[in-house]
Amino acid sequence: MRGFISLLIPLLVAGCSNPAPPVDATGRDASVATTAPSVPTTKAAPQAATVDVIAIDPLYGAVALGSEPPSAMLNRYVLDLLNQDKARSDAAWAYAPADPRHADDAALRLLPDVRNLRLDSDVPLPRDDGQPPRLLEVPVRIRAMTANGTFRYHGWYRVQPSADGHGWQIQSASLQPTLD
């Protein structure tokens, strides 16, 4: 009797974990498509054709598929600052600051004799209720090496989709010095 019960329990568990497929009104298995198009099998396509589905991160859905993430755009922006390319660094902003002394990241823009600039970013945080969000806050840590020493900053950059929707642009920033 014990042997029978010990065999019955796994069968019950297996039966409960694999429910029967749903049945439509005609009594046929609803999980099987009745009007599936046939795909000819050739040497070029030995199996049925498959469609590659690209997983879209809902956090970045406000811009075109394949656009660079905000962290890559910010790294490019920091590189442009390091190379003193004002035109490209201003292009990263939705509204470029006319005077670098009044920019949101003026502490970074006004550092003299920058030799090395490094930006580390964390996962962006949505700052609006849109689905997908159109305003992301990217937490950052920045290390700037100059002739006068090393300066560290922490804060965030807020980014929004560009006017054409093919990338991200900086909307605002907040950087604070960090003491070692």
* Environment class of 152 (CB within 10 Å of its CB; exposed 0-12, middle 13-18, buried 19+): middle
Q: How many whole angstroms separate alpha carbon 123 and alpha carbon 110?
A: 27
Q: Please, which residues bridge with residue 154 across strands?
A: 141, 176
Each domain of the chain, given as residue ranges in start order, spans 58-178
CA dist., res. 58 & res. 51, Å (int): 20
Range 58-178 classified under CATH 3.10.450.50:
yes
pLDDT tens string for the chain (180 positions)? Answer: 566 556 556 655 555 555 555 555 555 555 444 444 444 444 554 454 444 445 567 777 888 888 899 999 999 999 999 999 999 999 999 999 888 899 999 999 999 899 999 999 999 999 988 888 899 999 999 999 999 999 999 999 999 999 898 899 999 999 999 986
Q: What is the pTM of this model?
A: 0.67
